[in-house]
Structure 1
Amino acid sequence: MNQLTKKRNILLLLFSLLAFCNLQAQTKQQVYVELLGASTTVGVHYDSRFGKNSHWGFRAGLAFTSTDNQDFMECDPLKTRGVTLPVGINYLIGKNKHFAELGLGVSFGSYQCTLRKEEKLFKKNLTGSFLFLDMGYRYQPAKGVSVRLGLNPGLALNYKETTKENDNTITRSAVIYPYVSIGLTL
């Protein structure tokens, strides 16, 4: 196991332990569907505070990526499909129902890309992880419908300048995705 994989697994374990240890004392839990952002296409996420009156919280989700945009990765795939696991911590600034949201997270992904080489199509499996920031607005009442809007700047953690045929890592370096989320505060 290489050094980057070890660090990635330790970070994922840390986020998981924090989430598990604090589930019983949570308030303002929410489940939401996120379009774009850290989900890149669409994802379902769980978000909660670390304590009853804490502005600190976490999110964890399962997302699906599907795009025909050749700019999605620098290897110019004709089609990209994948599954990602975005996890992160966040801080809410504000009170009542209106908050500024700042967060930091990592999205782990496994993708299948359709590429063209010398007029032949072939599929290539890629894996990658992206560091992302949550910067946005959150409307979150005590119970009911919640909304999030903002930007997710992202940076690949294992960026490579060139792609070799036997290299299975993501080759895009940095992106900025807008996001919109609609969910329920539980």
Structure 2
Amino acid sequence: MRKYFCLAVALLIFSISDAQSQEKPVTQAVFLELGGAGLAYTFNYDFRFDQENINSWGMRVGAGGFSLNGKTLLTAPIQVNRLLGSKKHFFEIGAGTTFINFRNRVTHTNYYQNPQTNGSYYISEEYTRKNYSWILDSGDTPAFMGTLNFGYRKVPEDGGFLFSANLVPAFNHEGFWPLWAGVGFGYAF
């Protein structure tokens, strides 16, 4: 009986260690990016198309923006990317587009003098500007801006804290902006 018990414990330990060595690699992540493809900040989800290989093509989708003093910005970056590296240090390359929707509520007041009564009056007009210009002038929004991605991503082998730093050139119908960057912090699983 004791032999069978020792054999069962040995098989259990072997199967647990074998299962741990065959665990699925870390191929998904959620992260906050400051700057980068989302311009201001975005919350992102990133995943690999091949769930068994972190060194594969993947995709990230995100959403972010702000609303401050009558100005509202919504951005949604989508990029296809590839991680190249080993262990926990990776070079990241990618390309995609960012949806931009901007609104700026503006109140303009004109003062007029009435020559007959020597009084003054004013007319206030409110209108909305849709033209967004941060890195490149986007024209009236909604609009799209192309993005590239070249950078570093640290992904722990067993999951956990993720860090990335990227150079994100941007382009649209108005031109090309090569020097935009972003940093990301999140969780890989």
| Residue number in structure 2 paired with 1:40 | 39
Shift of 1:173: 3.4
Cα distance change on mapping 1:116 and 1:173 into 2, 3 Å:
farther
| Residue number in structure 1 paired with 2:76 | 85
Matches within 5 A, 1:1-186: 27-51=26-50, 52-53=52-53, 54-65=55-66, 80-114=71-105, 122-125=127-130, 126-142=141-157, 143-156=159-172, 159=173, 173-175=175-177, 176-186=179-189
CA distance in 2 between partners of 1:29 and 1:40 (Å): 22
Task: Return the TM-score normalized by structure 2.
Answer: 0.64
Aligned residues: 138
CA distance in 1 between partners of 2:57 and 2:166 (Å): 18
| Residue number in structure 2 paired with 1:4 | none
Tell me the secondary structure at the aligned position of residue 27 of structure 2: coil
Q: Percent identity?
A: 28
Gaps in structure 1 of 5+ consecutive residues: 1-24, 69-78, 160-171
Tell me the secondary structure at the aligned position of residue 37 of structure 2: helix
RMSD: 2.6
Gaps in structure 2 of 5+ consecutive residues: 1-23, 111-124, 131-140
Moved runs in structure 1, 4+ residues, more than 4 A? 65-68, 114-121
Shift of 1:26: 8.5
* Bigger strand share: 2
CA distance in 1 between partners of 2:68 and 2:95 (Å): 24
Task: Return the TM-score normalized by structure 1.
Answer: 0.65
Higher gyration radius (CA)? 2
Shift of 1:122: 3.5
